Amino acid sequence: MVRLLLAFAAVLAGILAPSAGAGAEDLPSYPPQISAALDLLDQVPATAGLRGVLATNQVDVHFVPMAPGVYARYSVLRHVIEIDDRWIDSDTTTLAAVIAHEATHAQDAVSGFLASGGQSACIDSEIRAFRTSALFWIAEYGPAGKPDAQTDLDLQLNSIADREAHDPTGLETLVRQTYSQQCSV
């Protein structure tokens, strides 16, 4: 009887458990502009590991309408990066910088960092996220930023990169001030 139960449990586990051969078919599928942005992130040392974090943790990336002033967000509960749909036609580099920021939050969430420290961890994650996107932006455009910046998003990325390049302590202070209220919730 015990052998029969063990055999039944083994068959059931084989049916219900994920296959050890699971692979590429389990990776998230991204729209072409997101895939192109991830390709850019792969080329910069500061962001090269982010695609792996997203793939390993099944983090989806898509565009949705958002309130004014919100450019993107990462949902810990839903494992999704949402980018405001007004940026759907942004160039690949701009999208990559936004994804770099939000993917840093995803990395902090899956590593357990965000769960470990309350408000302090939240603010530290924001600092890391801004730094990561700034380092990517600097790698692409240099410390002066995108020369033909036209959108609010590109101008903000230029400003963040400039702070990171010339006053990293000031960038940290600005992020701490800006996110102290949001991170206390």
Please write the tens of the pLDDT for every residue from 97-111: 999 999 999 999 998
Cα distances from 90 to residues 83, 108, 120, in angstroms, run 11, 26, 32
Structural tokens at position 133: 């996107």
Bridge partner residues of 83 (DSSP) = 63, 72
Structural tokens at position 86: 């007004």
Q: DSSP states of 88-110 as a string?
A: TTS-HHHHHHHHHHHHHHHHHHH
Please tell me the distance from the alpha carbon of residue 42 to that of residue 49, in angstroms, as a whole number: 7
Average pLDDT, the chain: 85
Question: For the whole model, what pTM was predicted?
Answer: 0.84
Please tell me the distance from the alpha carbon of residue 13 to that of residue 147, in angstroms, as a whole number: 57
Q: What SS3 class is residue 119?
A: helix
Structural tokens at position 68: 């004014």
Please write the tens of the pLDDT for every residue from 17-55: 333 334 455 667 898 999 999 999 999 999 999 999 999
Please write the tens of the pLDDT for every residue from 108-155: 999 888 777 778 899 999 999 999 999 999 999 999 999 999 999 999
Side chain identity at 36, as an amino acid letter? A
For position 17, what pLDDT does the model report?
35
